[in-house]
Every structure is written in structure tokens, then in C-alpha cells.
Amino acid sequence: MGARTGWKDVRDRIHAQILNGRYEPGDKLPRDADIAEDLMCARATVQRAMQDLSEKGLIERRRKGGTHVRRDPVARATLSIPLMRREIEDGGGVYGYRLIAREMAEPPERVRRAMGAGAPAELLHVTALHLSDGAAHALEDRWVNTAVVPEILVIDLSTISANEWLVGNKPYSRFTLEISAERADPGTAALIGAEPGAALLMIDRTTWAGEAPITAVRARMAPGYTLPTRS
Amino acid sequence: MGARTGWKDVRDRIHAQILNGRYEPGDKLPRDADIAEDLMCARATVQRAMQDLSEKGLIERRRKGGTHVRRDPVARATLSIPLMRREIEDGGGVYGYRLIAREMAEPPERVRRAMGAGAPAELLHVTALHLSDGAAHALEDRWVNTAVVPEILVIDLSTISANEWLVGNKPYSRFTLEISAERADPGTAALIGAEPGAALLMIDRTTWAGEAPITAVRARMAPGYTLPTRS
DNA sequence: AAGTGGTCTAGACCACGTA
DNA sequence: ACGTGGTCTAGACCACTTA
């Protein structure tokens, strides 16, 4: 016979009942306990299923208020931002890396705002190119808080990317992420192999260790890049 | 005194131990059972905490192999794509909507590929503008599979957006999502209030009901738009 | 005040992958 | 074959929210 009902089975069953109209947007679902009795499983199993549907934005749960099918389901997708090298290698390309510039400098206003008050006046500024099969994949424009990771000053960044070194040596506790679009200025266009004015996808990420900002990086992706998502 | 240790406490405790170097990238963590004994809680509690850390890409778990700190933690963020109207209203703006065009037509190759084999030769093509406080917010270019949702043919799409009608009346079982950047062509630029050639963030979404494609929509966001993410 | 979801526990068994 | 994570169960208690 088939396997015993697991929480994923319960989840799919409820999901199917929402799709086929058994429960419509705004409808109230039975209490977990009743569903559990119907399906002859433990309440915890139903609870786990419901929690998953809730995280996916399909239902809304309130204590005492019960469980309702959302009227405006929110489409939620997960973005995975891997190490540049991994992203390229997983795509079947040969990874290449080129350090463009490395210097201590005062960051622009944008970076100061992203890092907040906890950043010193001078940061390490690193510009580098990530290549896939020899072609530009992304241009990385990074600012590193040397007060938090002074070790990076003695690293040979022409051999290993700051991206890779930081990920392997300085775990972060949280990060912010912003996705936008920008036209390529002439300098960027030349480096990334695009026409000046081309539309580039831009990924801004700032990572933190507790209250201290570690690094703020802006990655401009080569033309035609599509951000991988998983729903 | 303080609350009993919940699974989130356990998660944060382990996370902290990874951050402060107690466990380094590549290290093996103790078995769930041992951690549970240490913290004087049930193994299921540790399991729930570990599952969360695993989903966040911080650790890797393998049966028999144990739990290891990932060498290349993957940054994972959640994208929420709400209803256009909600996104604007939640941002404090007054929502406006304008239907630009509505016609039956043969979809371009891009849409046919996105929908796969299950799409008819002719689809309903809807172009519409979403406004925030009177200013363009997004230009929606949508193709609807009328074989799956024939009801939409009798809806007055100058009053309610196809976006809103579909979300409220045709639940989907899954969707794909792609984020990219594109230059505004003259027609788009005029509608969305941008200079021709401006870089626009573009969101492509295709939703499905089982094996049947419901709709493929391309939203071009107004210049300066930043995609909201939650990590 | 009472109802409903959220979580913990202790024990059991299963599933998977490594040795 | 065996060790480890994954899940289920039944019961209990807690937390929040609304009636």
C-alpha cells in the first residue's frame, strides 16, 4: 500500500482543495484538530502542513481566528545568491577572475548610507571582474570595512576574489539585498563588454556582523543576465 | 525568569556559535541528540532549529553524514511579488490604473516558449499601466490563456486589472519568475514616463494551473524601482 | 473567558547514505 | 550494517486574539 500520510501529503491535499474550489478565497478552513481527525493523523502533522502553506502566502492563520484562504495570495520566490565562482561553474562555464583596482578610499554617500553609522571614514575599495569562459559575467564594485576584517589587507586579491575570501573567512549574521537596473556608463561598458548605455541588472548587497557592517558590494551583471529564482 | 528554550532559541544559539568561530566552515556539528541533551530539550526541538538553518543555507545535513557548517554559505532572500495595487497602497500611494490595449492575438515566440505546448494559437493580449499617485509605476504586458479562463473575456478590464481579477478568481498551482533589465523602447518610454533607452527592471512571470498555463506577464517597472527583498 | 494556533516532550519508527 | 537525520504520534501546556 501507499506510504502513511506525511505532512507534505497533507499540505498538497489542502492545496489541491484550494485550487479546485473546495475552499475559495476568504473561506475559513476547519480547525487543525478536525482536519487531523478526518485524515487520521496527529494534529502536529496538520500544523506542519499549514505552517508551510502559510509561509508560502497561500493561507493566513490567526489564533482563535482560525485559518483562512488568502484573498490576495502573495507570490513568494526564493532568490539564491551564490558565490560568483560557483554560479559560473554550476552553469558549466570556466571561471575566470581579474582584479581591476584596489585602494583605500573614502566611500561615496551611497555606501556610507548603506553601512550606517558603524563605518570608518576610509574603506578598502576593490574592483574586479568575474568571467565565464573568458567573457565578462559581472563587474564587482566592493567596499570592505577594514576595521572589522583587517586581515583582508594582507590578502593577495589578484589571486583570490574578495568575494570568495570574505565568504570563507568572515561569516555574516545578516544582509540586505536590493535589485535594480542601471545604464552602463562608458567605463563599465568597456569592462563588461557591453554598449555604453546598455541596461544592466544591478545587485546591491550589504553584509553585517552583529552591528558592524562588513562589506557593501554592487555587482553589475553582463547584459542578458537573468536572476535565478526558485518558487 | 526567561522563557523555556524554544526551537528559535536553539537556532540562534547555534547560529551564534558559527558566527563567533566556535564552529568554523567545514566543521562537523554534534549529533542532534547530543545537542538536545546539552541544552536539555527534546531532539525534535533541535531538529526544527537545524532545519531552519539548513533552509537558510548556513549548514548542510546528510543522513548518516551528520551536520556540517557550509563552506560556501548561500545568501538566500525571499522575494514577495504582491498585487500591483497592494504594493502601491502599502507604499502609501494612491493607486491608479489605465487600460492601454486589449485584443486577441498570436503571442510572440517568447510567450509561446514560456507557456510550453499547452497554449492555443491565439491569446488575449492586455496592456495596462499601473500608477502610483498619478505617476507611472509599472507597464504590464500580459497574455492570458482564454482556453483556461474564458470568463475573462466578459470582464471589463478598463475597470479592474487583469492582474487583480486573475489573482482573485483563478488560483495557480505554481509559477516561474525571471528578473532582468532592458532598455526602454520609445513606445514604452512614452507610456512609463522615462527617457528612451532608460534602464528598466523587468519581471517576467508565468503562472500555471496544473499543466495548463494561465497567463504570462511581463512587467516593466518605472525607472529607479528597487525590488523589495526580505532576508 | 474561551477557542484556536504554536510549541514542547518522549518515544518510536522510517529513510537514506556511508562505511 | 549501522548511524544519523526526518517524521509521526499522543498528550500537554502556552500564547494570542477575539467573542
DSSP state of B155: S
Partners of A71 on chain B (C-beta within 8 Å) are 168
Mean predicted lDDT score pLDDT of chain A: 92
Yes or no, beta carbons of B205 and A71 under 8 Å apart? no
- pLDDT score at B159: 92
Between CA A163 and C1' D14 the distance (Å) reads 45
Half-sphere exposure of B129 (CA within 13 A, CB side): 19
Q: Is the pLDDT confidence value at B3 over 60?
A: no
Give B202's contacts in chain A (Cβ within 8 Å).
Answer: 181
Using a pLDDT cut of 70, give the percent of chain A over it.
98
Residue type, B61: R
Q: Is the pLDDT of residue A130 over 70?
A: yes
Residue B86 pLDDT: 87
pLDDT tens column, B5-56? 789 999 999 999 998 889 988 999 999 999 999 999 999 999 999 999 998 8
Q: Which of residues 82-121 of B touch A (CB under 8 A)?
A: 82-83, 86
What is the distance between the alpha carbons of residues A105 and B101, in angstroms, rounded to a whole number? 52
> Residue A184: what residue type?
A
3-state secondary structure chain A: CCCCCCHHHHHHHHHHHHHCCCCCCCCEECCHHHHHHHHCCCHHHHHHHHHHHHHCCCEEEECCCEEEECCCCCEEEEEEECCHHHHHHHCCCCEEEEEEEEEEECCCHHHHHHHHHHCCCCEEEEEEEEEECCEEEEEEEEEECCCCCHHHHHCCCCCCCHHHHHHHHCCCCEEEEEEEEEECCHHHHHHHCCCCCCEEEEEEEEEEECCEEEEEEEEEECCCCCECEEC
Q: Residue B228's closest chain A neighbor by CA?
A: A178
Give CA angle at B136 (B130, B139), nearest 5°: 55
Nucleotide nearest to A4 (CA to C1'): D8
The answer to whether the CB of A121 falls within 8 A of the CB of A174 is no
Mean pLDDT, range A168-189, rounded to an integer: 92
Statement: the CB of B47 is under 7 Å from strand D: yes
pTM: 0.87
Q: Which amino acid is at B102?
A: R
More confident residue, A171 or A214: A214
- Closest to A80 (Cβ–Cβ): which among B18, B76, B200? B76
Q: Which of B199, B205, B210 lies closest to A181 in CB terms? A: B199
- Residues of chain B neighbouring A174 (CB-CB closer than 8 A): 231
Mutate to test the interface with A, among B22, B27, B81 (most CBs of A within 10 A): B81
**What average pLDDT does the segment A59-63 reach?**
95
Contacts of B44 in chain A (CB under 8 A): none
Query: Could you tell me the end-to-end alpha-carbon distance of chain B, in angstroms, rounded to an integer?
Result: 31
A3 CA to C19 C1' in angstroms comes to 29
Q: How many CB pairs under 8 A join A and B?
A: 143
* Nucleotide closest to A42 measured between CA and C1': D9
When CB atoms are compared, the residue of B18, B83, B181 closest to A200 is: B181
Least confident stretch, A124-128, B82-86, B149-153: B82-86
